[in-house]
Each structure stands twice: as C-alpha cells, then as structure tokens.
Amino acid sequence: MTFTDELKDAISRRTVLLVLGVLAVQIAFIASYVGAFHQPTPHEIDIAVVGPDQVVQQLDDSLELSASAMTEAEARAQIERGELAGALVVDTSGTQDTLLTATARGSSLATALQSVVEQADAQQGRTVAVQDLVPLEEGDARGMSGFYLVIGWLVGGYLVASLLGVAKGARPANRRRAAIRLGAMVPYAVASGLTGALVVDQGLGALTGHYWAIAGVGTLLVLASATVTMALQVLFGTIGIGLTVLLFVVLGNPSAGGAYQLELLPGLWRGIGEWLPNGAGTTALREIVYFGGHGAAGHLWLIVAYAVVGAAVTLAASAAIRRRD
C-alpha cells in the first residue's frame, strides 16, 4: 500500500469529522468562558431605597440598578429571603448612608452593588457604610462552594452515562435495555448526592447544616445530567457526548452564576442561566443554605423536568430506532 492508501485507511472521513467537531467545541468553550467573564458589568440589579423619592428616581435612572422605595423593615426582610440584592438606607439627618447587602447571594454581586452605590453617593458628597445581613459561611469564603459542587455532580452524571454508551453502544439495543441503563443511574445518583453533601458539609465545613437537602439537590442534578446525556446519545450517537459537553460545560458553567452572578453577565449568558441545570442547581443550593429555601422550588422543578424529559426521550427514541431497524 502507498502512503496515501495507508493514510486513508488509518484516518477515515468519520474520524476527520469527529476531530473537526472537537475543534468546534474547543473554540466554543473559549468563546463562551471569555465572553461571559472578560468584562462583568452590572445589569438592572434589584435594590430598595429607604429615603426620599428623588434618590429612588436617581438610582432607577441608572443602567445598573432597578430601584424601588420601601421601608427599612421590608427591605431587610426581602434581602434575608434572597429577593433583593441590597437596600440603600438614606440618612436624612447626615451624610453617611447605609447599604444593606447579602454577600451570600454572591460576593461579586455585592461588590458591584457597593461600587455603584458609592459612586452615586460620592456625586452627592455622601459616604456609604456597608452592613452584610446574610454573610457567607466561614468555610465558603467566596461563595463558590455550591457552584463547584454542582459542576462535580453534573460531570459525574454525564461521564457515567457516556462511559456506558462507550462500553455498550451509544444506542441501547431496545427499550428494555434503555430502561435498565436509566434504572442503573438511580443508585449512582443517590450515592453521588450523599457523598457530595458529605464532602462539603461534614468533610470540609463549606456548606453546613443542610445535609439532606443538599444531597437531594445533588441526586436530582446527577439524574438530569445522566438522562439528558443518554437521550442525546440515542438520538445522535457518539456526537451526543459532544452535544452534552456543549450544553453543560460550554453554555451551562459560565452562565450558572458562580464566579459572576447573572446580573453581571452579558445578555446571552444572563438569558440562559436560569434555564439550565447548572444555574438552577447553583441558585437552589444558595437559597437552601443561606435563605431558608425561599425561591428554591422553581429551580428544583426545572432540574426534575430535565431528568424526566431526558428519560422519556431515551425510552421513546430507543423504541423508535428499534422499530426502524
């Protein structure tokens, strides 16, 4: 055989297409992460103002803040439930105002809010004192523990589903085999949730006091990741693994609100963050650990929807492909 024949035999057209697909995912990864993080800018951060109407209007006219007037008691209650990023309490008898924040909602968000308010007050010859109503736990210094925990669970879910596809074929032989694969994910997901919660709670003391709730979130996230991966593999074969990486890694991680909260991200990532398991899981954990679970239900139902739809598509597509064959 000539060298050209050897080359064609060693590297098929399918292999070339797969390599080009990997290159495309790589470029998308770089563009997504750099695009999301290279220039964080505040967008319509919700803030309450306790003070004169002109101050409310001044802040509401800003591109960075969405201000509304309320009493200090109302503002404190909403901040402690995670419904507001902060509140500015205007001192009508002096020149030092108080900014109420919740670092637990996101340290980057709290820092950005403080910067914007300080600039606005400085223009009026006023100063700002900051009061953190919901601080981060000692072991969760930058508020990133929940985000990394979510990443770990999602990676585990799609890796184990991908490995099953590589070992036994991307497409199960029939619907019964598909059901068996899906069933095997349940004990794996439960074990992942329990061990992940054990690491961050008793092990590292990063997120404490909510072991069973954290474990439950982890179980749901692993199931969602695994079933969606299986569905994409059944529909698209090996390429489905690449699509999974696009969904959970390329799009999901930078838009999850971990390093920078949604209010600081550009339009694309800010728009999709709440609709992907990464963002839903990160926000749900934050609300469970720091805000008494207020607002977590909607995010948990979204994760459940991913798991249910992923399982349903896996079963339906397996049956359809079997009949077609």
Spell out the domain ranges in the chain.
Answer: 45-132, 145-324
- 111 band by pLDDT with thresholds 50, 70 and 90: very high
Check pLDDT > 90 for residue 169.
no
Check pLDDT > 90 for residue 15.
no
Helix axes 211-236, 175-198, angle to 10 degrees: 150
Say which range, 16-25, 60-69, 182-191, 246-255, has the weakest mean pLDDT: 60-69
Output the pLDDT for position 65. 78
Of 238, 234, 243, 253, residue with least CA distance to 153: 253
State the DSSP H helix or E strand holding residue 177, giving kind and residue range, or none if neither.
Answer: helix 175-198
Check pLDDT > 60 for residue 324.
no
Residue 258 and residue 148: Cα distance in Å, rounded? 8
3-state secondary structure of 202: helix
Mean pLDDT of 14-36: 89
Mean pLDDT of 82-99: 91
Q: Which two tokens stand for residue 97?
A: 């105002």
Residue 90 and residue 17: Cα distance in Å, rounded? 62
Output the pLDDT for position 269. 94
Mean pLDDT of 233-238: 89
- 7 band by pLDDT with thresholds 50, 70 and 90: low
Mean pLDDT of 117-145: 91
3-state secondary structure of 2: coil
Mean pLDDT of 135-154: 94
Q: Which two tokens stand for residue 189?
A: 């997901």
**Mean pLDDT of the chain, nearest integer:** 90
Output the pLDDT for position 119. 87
Check pLDDT > 80 for residue 268.
yes
Output the pLDDT for position 237. 87
- 323 band by pLDDT with thresholds 50, 70 and 90: low
